Amino acid sequence: MNKQEKPNSITNVLIVGVGGQGVIMVSKVLARLCQRHGFDVKQSEVHGMAKRGGVVFSHVRFGEKIWSPTVSEGNADVLLALEWAEALRWLHYLKPKTGTFIADTQHIVPPFACLKRHRGAEQRYAQETPEEIVSQVAKGYALDATGIATELGNFRVSNTVLLGTLSTALAFDEADWRDTLAELVPPKTIDTNLEAFQKGRDWVEEVKKTPKKEKNTKKPNKIAPYQQQVKIQNDIQQDLIPVITAAWCKGCDICVKMCPERCLKLNTKEVVELVEPERCTGCRICEWLCPDFAIDVVKVPTPLNEEASKSKPASLPETV
């Protein structure tokens, strides 16, 4: 690719992932390569929060003359995602008719996905499968790059595997890609990186050989079991609730301190009380830890709805 072949045209690449995955390294290699070929190039990222596991994205634009440092929505020629949920977050940046979509199918589940504590709680992570997405974009590659990198003995080179895949989408010489990569990675890791790069290219070759239907090889890991489990759990028509025998409580405070949800408190008579019933998840820790057997976590047959949970203490007057 050089400017004579593509006069005045601009290529937009959006590289996305999660902090620590090496998004910026990929974009540096690409930017460097573009510069070597005499293109004007802008590479823009916003860091700051990236180290704390947040979203990382890097825009790389190259061509004869580049003005805006950022790619507009619906204008990315290539979307390269190092993580599955991130691929989906930025999907609307892809050019609808011609854009190439490349994504690692691995899931990095954010802590926020596992926050809900009630029984049968759902994990809040993207539900869309690679098959669904790949079938809807112009050109789509979803591969288990992390798996491939792990097989090579270093899961960290998954970004280089994807770089290999990217190299098939942009018309620079393979040798130039390799040279630039070798130039930018630490000398000790050059061999592993070149190997990973090759794997990413090989993967595309494989896909091109196999009949259309089985284009994308791997399912996203783990999503199915969660969904099944959630289904079963949602059928539970019972709730758990600690019932406190006030006479047996000597106010030792153990359950109050150990309750993961902090829904127990000592009242003015130094007897434990369930003060935030809606937070109780029925985990039974208080029951197990009470030295005086003053707490019983019992199953209350009740539909899982708001009102029922709010009226819980009132419905158990004789024991509290």
Partner 1 sequence: MDKDSEGSTIDTTLNFEAADSVTSRRSDDVRPMMGNEAMARGAWEAGVQVGAAYPGTPSTEIMEFLSAYPEADVRAQWATNEKVALDVAIGASFAGARALSVMKHVGLNVASDSLMSQTYIGVNGGLVLIVCDDPGIHSSQNEQDTRLYARLAMVPCLEPSDAQEALEFTRLAFTISEEFDTPVLVRSTTRLSHTRSLVEVGERSDIEPTGFKENPHKNVMIPSNARTQHPRLIEREEKLKTYFENSELTKWEKGDKDVGIVTLSTSYVYVKEVLPDASILKLGSSWPLPSNIISEFSRSVKRLIVVEELEPIVEREILSMGIKAEGKAFFPRVGEFSPEVIRDGLETAGILQKQKNKLNIDITPTVRPPVLCAGCPHTSSYMAVKSLDARVAGDIGCYTLAAVEPLQAIDTCVAMGSSIAVATGMAKAGTETKPIIATIGDSTFLHSGIPPLIDAVYNDVNITVILLDNHTTAMTGGQDHAATGRSLRGDETHRVDFEQIVNACGVDWVRIADSYDLANMYQTFREAVEFKGVSVVISDRPCVLDPVKIRGETLVVNQSNCVACQACMNLGCPSLVWSDEMYDGHHKVKIDAETCIGCALCAQLCCTDSISALPKSK
- Closest approach of partner 1 to the CB of residue 293, in Å: 17
How far is the C-alpha of 37 from the C-alpha of 121, rounded, in Å? 52
Shorter beta-carbon distance to partner 1: residue 210 or 260: 260
Residues 240-279 binding partner 1 (CB under 8 A) are 240, 257-258, 260, 262
Residues 192-231 binding partner 1 (CB under 8 A) are 193, 196, 222, 225-226, 229
Shorter beta-carbon distance to partner 1: residue 123 or 245: 123
Q: Is 18 helix (H, G, I), strand (E, B) or coil?
A: strand
- Closest approach of partner 1 to the CB of residue 77, in Å: 13
Residue 26 makes contact with partner 1 by CB under 8 A: yes
Q: Return the range that interacts with partner 1 (CB under 8 A); candidates 33-41, 203-211, 241-249, 311-319.
A: 33-41
How far is the C-alpha of 55 from the C-alpha of 48, rounded, in Å? 10
- Closest approach of partner 1 to the CB of residue 233, in Å: 5
Residue 14: its H or E element:
strand 10-18
Residues 153-192 binding partner 1 (CB under 8 A) are 155-157, 159-160, 163, 179, 181, 183-186, 189
Residue 149: its H or E element:
helix 145-151
- Closest approach of partner 1 to the CB of residue 320, in Å: 21
Contact 287, 297 (CB under 8 A): yes
Shorter beta-carbon distance to partner 1: residue 42 or 215: 42
Q: What is the CA radius of gyration of the chain?
A: 27
Shorter beta-carbon distance to partner 1: residue 208 or 270: 270
* Burial degree of 191 (CB within 10 A; 0-12, 13-18, 19+): exposed
Shorter beta-carbon distance to partner 1: residue 47 or 247: 47
Cα 110 → chain centroid: 6
Out of 5, 8, 111, 306, which residue is the one contacting partner 1 (CB under 8 A)? Answer: 111
Q: Return the range that interacts with partner 1 (CB under 8 A); candidates 85-93, 202-210, 271-279, 308-316.
A: 85-93
Tell how strand 10-18 and strand 55-63 pair up: antiparallel
In 126-266, DSSP assigns E strands to 139-143, 238-244, 264-266
Task: Name the maximum alpha-carbon separation found in the chain.
Answer: 89
Out of 22, 63, 140, 220, which residue is the one contacting partner 1 (CB under 8 A)? Answer: 22
